Each structure stands twice: as C-alpha cells, then as structure tokens.
Amino acid sequence: MYIAGEHNYYIIMLSIIILITACYISLNIVSKISIVTYKYKLFWLFTSAITMGIGIWSFHFIGMLAFQINIKITYHFGLTFLSAVAVITGSFIAFYLIVRKNLRGSSVFFAGLFMAISIILMDYLAMKAMRMPATMSHELPWMIVSMVIAFIASYLSLFIFIQFRKNQANKLITLLSAIVMSIAISGAHYAGKLATKYFIANEQVLTPYSLNTTLLYEVIISIVILYCVAMLLMFYERNLL
C-alpha cells in the first residue's frame, strides 16, 4: 500500500528562513570578491560556497524532518555527507563562473545550470540516504518540473545579482537575489517531494510519528555557528584585502 505524509509548517518556515539567510550571506561574500586581492579570492570563494552549500543542505534536511510520516526513518551517513559535498561543489563552480572579470552571458547560464544540477543531485542523494521499511518511487513529470524550477530560478537569481551588484541599493538587490534563489531551492525540493511515493508491503511497519528534536537542534546549532563564523569573517575582511 502507498502511504502519505504531512508537513509541519512551522519547521518548514524555519528551514526557509535558514535558506534565505544562507543565500544572502553567500551572495554578500561573493559581491566582495571582486575587490580583494587574488591571494584571498579562492579563500572567499570557498567560504561563500561552504556557507551556501551547508545552508541548502540544512534546508533540505530540516525540510525532511518536517515531513511527518508513520514509519521509522534513519539516514545513511555516507550518502548524506556526499549530498552536502555535491551542493558545496556546485555552489563553488557557480560562484567561480560569475566572479570572473571577463563575464559573459554563457557564464551566467552555466553558473545557473551547475547550481541547479547540484541542488537536484543533493536532493535525490539525500533521499537515497533515507533508510526505512518502504520503497520510494518517483513520478517523472514532477521530477522534470523540479529540475526546470531549479534551473530557471537559479539562473534568474544569479542574473539579477550580477546586473545590479554595483548598484547603490546593493543590499536590497542581494536580498532579492537570495529570495529568488531560495524559491529555486525550495521549489525544486517540494516538487521533488510531490514526485516521490512511498510503498509499504506490510502495515505492521507503521509507527506513530515522532519528531527527532535532538537531530533538529543539532542541525540548527551547527548552521547558526557557521553563519556566525561567516559574518565574523566578513566583518574582518578589510584586514584580508
């Protein structure tokens, strides 16, 4: 039989706030890369990619914890770690393409493409990491929709950011780009969830839903620490120029 789940909308809102914050901090760092010396450019690229990647991964993971389904779920550490590596790598490539001096339209296209691919790859690797007494299947139309959303919104957010990053209202433009990028990530995530069906062969595996609050708090504390470190680095950036 197929089983359905529900979502805790308070936890979903928390995950989206974390995601927007991650995108905003990362884009803020990227906007500073053009004024730093070459010696520190790679450092800031890694910092922005790690902040973005862990933020996206945390959004997905908290979103999964918000999914209330009556079966026991654990996670394979290796695949979970690999999903984080995938999105950090994709973020690094995307940011590397858009901070080059000779920026072309094709660079923005490929930056959006790499970002979208990494989001989709992270999403499905994280779902593959789920260990549960159920079989997952995916509906192709919704999978395609999730991929299209991820690419269009990723490209649009990077395009907006690049076009207006020298504007005096840079903070507002960065926030707008962060929100659009968050729409890309959350849209791809929840379209992917709609594409996923859960089948159980025996009703005896059904258990009362219980939120893993310990794991939720661990993820939240980890991401807050990461954000604080990133903000401190930005605060002291003038010492690194």
Q: Would you list the DSSP string of 17-38? A: HHHHHHHHHHHHHHHHHTTS-H
pLDDT score of 89 more than 90: yes
Instruction: Centre a 10 Å sphere on the Cβ of residue 135 and count the other Cβ atoms it contains.
Output: 11
What is the C-alpha separation between 33 and 200, in angstroms, rounded?
50
pLDDT in tens, 5-36: 677 888 888 888 888 888 888 888 887 776 66
**What is the pTM assigned to this prediction?**
0.82
For residue 99, being part of any structural domain is answered with yes
Which residue range(s) make up the domain with 95? Answer: 9-240
Q: What is the pLDDT of residue 82?
A: 92
pLDDT tens digits for range 62-88: 888 877 777 777 788 888 889 889 999
Looking at the domain assignment, is residue 68 inside a domain?
yes
Q: What is the per-residue pLDDT for 162?
A: 79
Q: Which residue has the higher pLDDT, 97 or 65?
A: 97
39-65 tens-digit pLDDT: 678 888 888 888 888 888 888 888 888
Q: β-strand 130-131 against 74-75: which pairing, if any?
A: antiparallel
For residue range 192-230, list pLDDT tens digits in order. 777 777 777 776 667 766 666 777 777 788 778 877 777
116-153 tens-digit pLDDT: 898 888 888 888 888 877 777 777 888 888 888 888 88
User: Residue 43 falls within a domain, yes or no?
Assistant: yes
State the Cα–Cα distance between residues 204 and 185, nearest whole angstrom: 35
Reported as half-sphere exposure (CB side, CA atoms, 13 A), residue 203 has a value of 1
Per the domain annotation, does 2 fall within a domain?
no
Total number of domains in the chain? 1
Per-residue three-class SS string for 126-179:
HHHCEECCCEEEECHHHHHHHHHHHHHHHHHHHHHHHHHCCCCCHHHHHHHHHH
Half-sphere exposure of 117 (CA within 13 A, CB side): 12
* CA-angle at 203, arms to 202 and 207, nearest 5°: 125
Please report whether residue 4 resides in a domain.
Answer: no
Structural domain includes residue 193: yes
